[in-house]
Amino acid sequence: MTRKKKKRNITADIQVKSNNQSRCGLCGKTTNLTKTECCGNWICDDEDQYVLFSYARNSCFRNHRHYTLCGYHHVEGHAGDWKDCPQCREDIETEMYVYYGTNEYNFEKLENPPDYEPTKCSKCGVVIRLGTEGFTQSGDEYWCEVCGAKEMDKMLRRTKASSRRPKGRG
């Protein structure tokens, strides 16, 4: 009696290995990973790819640390869990608190985020999405990109005009 040799299912073996492999919890990549300091999740070790002052959102590591309540909570050294931290809630205006707690850079999203009135441009009234759109803030006023550019032009013209005035004799 001869025994049949069992064929191995190579595809299944590969799937099992890939399921056990660490992956970035945000983008799914499996190479160049590290664990976050805040929550211990696997994430791309890619902060070195960020170009200073570019405002690019191309770094999983930086995005989680800079644009989530989890990252903020850890960086600020708050005690307890970020999801019910009164200090985080107090520190961050409601619209940004909701954005930081529910955006795509979170491993776990804030359940039942608070309601808020959307921010509107103080000049033209258009809604500004603070988490994703450009704006200018001057004191308590928020200006959309268009109005902000106009206001900055006015300020520059005043500065140039005042620098052309003759200085007093003395």
- Tens digit of each residue's pLDDT, the chain (170 residues): 444 444 433 333 333 345 678 999 999 999 999 999 999 999 999 988 887 888 778 899 999 999 999 999 999 999 999 999 999 999 999 999 999 999 999 999 999 999 999 999 999 999 999 999 999 999 999 999 999 999 999 988 887 766 666 666 55
State the DSSP code for 142: E
Q: What is the dihedral of CA 130, 82, 71, 57, to 10 degrees?
A: -40
d(CA 128, CA 101): 18
Opening angle at CA 123, ends 120 and 124, nearest 5:
70
Where are any strands of DSSP class E within the chain?
33-35, 42-44, 119-120, 127-128, 135-138, 141-144
pTM for the whole thing? 0.77
Domain borders along the chain are: 23-117, 118-163
